[in-house]
């Protein structure tokens, strides 16, 4: 049966060297039958065991941003995450599954890989990183290295479209290693001599208790070189590095965030850590396009030695002017065509931007007022037109009434003469005057007038007088 120690030593790791040594220390104790308690594990690997995340949805969602954790030692499969890395370790299987779940989650608009890991197994690292990049075509995926993003953990980080790190984070350790332990001296001291029967000289490498030869080392180096070349190619593709720039980041070292930014390993240093990156990701305009390498200073870069403003002051300015946070960061860091700005210059620029915004707001309000005035003028013109039409109709009605009055007077034989005291002119024809009056009554009733007699008395007194006179004349004739 292959011991845990043999399996660990034979596996290629994309792992920071410091954590590799801690891992070996824990494995050696475990292999010797020493069961470590929580305090010893914490002392050895720097982290207390934690309960694993529930796998159905091992991420939190903040305003549409799914925060996928990548923590601890990374294995290929979930079953390999054992007490060696603590239950809080990760696996490529879980990482990719969590990202896929988040991409399919209707509540999620974008994904943030929240990374704190020394790396892990080489096997599966590059494939998972490329799978993350492919998933990023469906929804934006960014990453934040928050403490340590080394080796295989960094490989996962660059699967994202943008990579940020907190100021004190360590980034890099790009490469592969195999830890080989020569236990032959210890075995000889214990009186144990190992004999290995092989089908070929290099089959299985060096067994426990067997001396490690130059041939064994050369063969292990062959594997390391091949896997490292794949890792370097991944970095070259995802970060746009080549030749001297690539060589500068593939020497196996880790770099603090400011140096990692200068070397092109990350897109910026997040002074406000997770909170700042989440604030950026909730702004949909941030996803228009990935910034070019020369413009990566869009997030503040406190480690830049050429900055002319203290990092803490920079944070205060950004918090006090959230609408101009990006402008403040850009000015503080500077660019290829301009020097970093001083605090006074930043304040002046923010004031100018605020003034421009206020001016734009006033112009917009004036435009709105002009549009409202034009609309009101149009409505008034329409109302005037309607009023004119109403007056025209009234004039037509008055003309008709006057015409009818003239006809009635003509019928009554009293054209131009106003009867006095109801007396009819000598030449008046009573029947015609009464007929004219009744005709007017009928006309007014058809028009909806409920008191036609009052209307005739008020508007057509001549017709009324002629009617009274005719009526009286008719009554006098009837009494004779």
Q: What is the pLDDT of residues 214-243, one digit of tens each?
A: 887 888 888 888 888 888 989 998 888 888
Confirm whether 341 is domain-assigned: no
In three-state secondary structure terms, 141 is: strand
Strands 141-150 and 110-117: parallel
Confirm whether 330 is domain-assigned: no
Confirm whether 307 is domain-assigned: no
pLDDT, one tens digit per residue, over 36-81 is: 555 555 554 444 444 444 445 678 898 889 999 998 888 877 555 4
Structural contact between residues 220 and 204, judged by C-beta atoms closer than 8 angstroms: no
Q: 174 and 286: one domain?
A: yes
- In the block, tokens 């990006």 appear at 326
Confirm whether 324 is domain-assigned: no
- Distance CA(444)–CA(408), nearest Å, equals 14
Could you tell me the residue range of the domain that residue 262 belongs to?
Answer: 4-292
| pLDDT tens series, the chain, 480 aa | 334 444 444 455 555 545 545 555 555 555 555 555 555 555 544 444 444 444 456 788 988 899 999 988 888 775 554 444 444 568 888 899 999 999 999 999 999 999 998 888 888 888 999 999 999 999 999 999 998 999 889 999 999 999 999 998 999 888 888 877 777 788 778 877 767 776 777 776 666 767 777 887 888 888 888 888 888 989 998 888 888 888 888 888 899 998 899 889 998 888 878 888 888 888 777 776 554 433 333 343 333 334 677 655 766 776 788 778 777 777 776 665 667 788 888 888 889 988 888 888 888 888 888 888 888 888 888 888 888 888 888 778 777 776 776 666 665 554 444 443 333 444 545 667 888 888 888 888 888 888 888 888 888 888 888 888 887 877 766 665
Intra-chain end-to-end CA distance of the chain, in Å: 152
- Neighbouring-strand partners of residue 392: none
Confirm whether 236 is domain-assigned: yes
Confirm whether 301 is domain-assigned: no
pLDDT, one tens digit per residue, over 295-323 is: 333 343 333 334 677 655 766 776 788 77
- Distance CA(228)–CA(224), nearest Å, equals 6
Q: 191 and 77: one domain?
A: yes
Domain boundary among 234, 259, 292: 292
Angle (CA) 242 289 111, round 5°: 95
- Distance CA(430)–CA(472), nearest Å, equals 9
Q: 56 and 185: one domain?
A: yes
Q: 277 and 398: one domain?
A: no
CATH of the domain at 182: 3.90.226.10
Angle (CA) 167 151 56, round 5°: 90
Domain boundary among 264, 292, 320: 292
What is the helix (H) or strand (E) element at residue 325, kind and residue range?
helix 325-333
How many other C-beta atoms lie within 10 A of the C-beta of residue 59? 21
Structural domains in the chain (count) = 2
C-alpha pair distances (Å), 445 with each of 408, 433, 434, 439, 455: 17, 19, 17, 10, 11
Confirm whether 370 is domain-assigned: no
Domain boundary among 262, 292, 322: 292
Confirm whether 374 is domain-assigned: no
pTM for the model: 0.53
Q: 404 and 278: one domain?
A: no
């Amino acid at each position: 049966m292959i011991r845990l120690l043999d399996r660990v030593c034979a596996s290629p790791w994309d792992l920071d060297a410091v954590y590799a040594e801690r891992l070996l220390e824990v494995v050696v104790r475990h292999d010797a039958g020493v069961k470590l308690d929580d305090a010893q594990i914490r002392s050895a690997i720097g982290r207390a065991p934690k309960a694993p995340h529930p796998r159905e949805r091992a991420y939190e969602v903040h305003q549409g941003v799914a925060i996928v954790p990548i923590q601890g030692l990374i294995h290929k499969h979930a079953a390999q995450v054992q007490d060696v890395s603590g239950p809080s370790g990760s696996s490529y299987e879980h990482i990719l599954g969590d990202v896929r779940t988040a991409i399919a989650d209707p509540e999620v608009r974008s994904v943030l890989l929240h990374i704190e890991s020394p790396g892990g197994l080489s096997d599966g690292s590059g494939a998972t990183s490329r799978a993350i990049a492919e998933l990023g075509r469906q929804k934006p995926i960014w990453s934040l290295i928050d403490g340590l993003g080394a080796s295989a953990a960094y490989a996962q980080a660059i699967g994202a479209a943008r990579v940020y790190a907190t100021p004190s984070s360590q980034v890099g350790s790009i490469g592969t290693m195999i830890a080989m332990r020569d236990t032959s001296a210890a075995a000889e001291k214990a009186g144990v001599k190992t004999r290995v029967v092989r089908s070929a000289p290099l089959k299985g490498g060096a067994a426990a208790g067997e001396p490690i030869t130059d041939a064994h080392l050369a063969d292990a180096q062959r594997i390391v070189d091949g896997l490292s070349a794949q890792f370097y190619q991944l970095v070259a593709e995802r970060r746009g590095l080549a030749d001297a720039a690539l060589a500068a980041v593939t020497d196996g070292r880790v770099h603090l965030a400011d140096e990692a930014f200068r070397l092109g390993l990350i897109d910026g240093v997040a002074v406000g850590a997770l909170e700042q990156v989440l604030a950026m990701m909730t702004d949909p305009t941030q996803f228009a396009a990935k910034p070019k390498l020369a413009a990566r200073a869009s997030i503040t870069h406190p480690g830049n030695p050429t900055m002319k403003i203290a990092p803490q002051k920079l944070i205060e300015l950004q918090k006090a002017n959230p609408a101009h946070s990006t402008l403040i960061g850009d000015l503080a860091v500077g660019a290829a065509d301009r020097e970093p700005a001083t605090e006074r210059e930043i304040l002046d620029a923010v004031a100018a931007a605020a003034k421009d915004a206020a001016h734009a707001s006033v112009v917009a309000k004036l435009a709105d007022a002009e549009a409202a005035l034009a609309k009101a003028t149009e409505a008034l013109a329409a109302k005037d037109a309607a009023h004119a039409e109403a007056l025209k109709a009234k004039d037509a009605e008055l003309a008709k009434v006057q015409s009818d009055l003239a006809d009635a007077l003509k019928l009554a034989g009293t054209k131009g003469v106003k009867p006095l005291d109801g007396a009819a002119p000598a030449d008046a024809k009573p029947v015609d005057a009464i007929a004219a009056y009744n005709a007017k009554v009928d006309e007014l009733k058809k028009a909806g007038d409920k008191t036609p007699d009052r209307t005739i008395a008020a508007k057509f007194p001549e017709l009324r007088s002629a009617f009274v006179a005719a009526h009286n004349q008719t009554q006098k004739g009837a009494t004779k």
